[in-house]
Amino acid sequence: MLTTYDLQYDEFSMALGYAMMTFGGATTAASGNPAAKAVAPAKKAKKEAKKPAKKEEDDDDFDVFGDDDEEEEEEAGKPKETRAEMLERLKKEANDRLTAKAAKQRTMVAIEVKPWDTEQDLNQLWKKITTEISQDGVKWGENCHLVEVAFGIKKICMSFVMGANNSSDDIIEQIEALEDEVQSVEMTSMNVL
């Protein structure tokens, strides 16, 4: 019957034997051990096989991105920028991106225009507003909706798109300046596109 101690001893002796064969084979081969002599030539063959593989790996060492060496050579000739210069450059780049983004930004504004009386032609008023009130960067909607308020009075629901440099308040003031035809103007929504 094997005990735990015997089992551990056998595993240890096998591990020691393996270690002797792999790491201590060269010294035991010189001592005349025939098993070690057989292992030694196999070891040399493995080492020789490994050497060409390393050379092939060096030849196959391909830089996927390829630009690192060229950038390092270019940077070697240039003086490195200081931290303050780098921060200033990054700040300028960020401001340029924000300016470009703001130039592209558009806002859609919906308004309601209420007339003075029921007999007023609201389609004609809408055409008058869209043709007379104009600013750079403002584009009026292609149509309007007439919504009934009460007692036969209707209001004009219309929209326009403006740029970042335009103000919806200025446009509303210009519409309210048509005092004879417009009672009030109310902004109902403003959405950034």
Query: Tens digits of per-residue pLDDT, 25-79?
Result: 544 444 555 554 555 555 555 555 555 555 555 555 666 666 555 556 556 666 7
pTM for the model = 0.47
Ordered by start, the domain boundaries in the chain are 4-59, 68-103, 106-192
More confident residue, 63 or 87: 87
Angle at 164 between CA 122 and CA 141, to 5 degrees: 25
Residues 153 and 113: beta-carbon distance below 8 Å: no
Q: How much is the average pLDDT of 149-174?
A: 88
CA gap 41, 29 in Å, rounded: 10
Is pLDDT at 182 greater than 50 in this prediction?
yes
Q: Is the CATH number of domain 106-192 3.40.50.10860?
A: no
CA gap 161, 190 in Å, rounded: 10
Mean pLDDT of the chain: 76
The DSSP call for residue 11 is H
pLDDT of res. 29: 46
CA gap 31, 23 in Å, rounded: 15
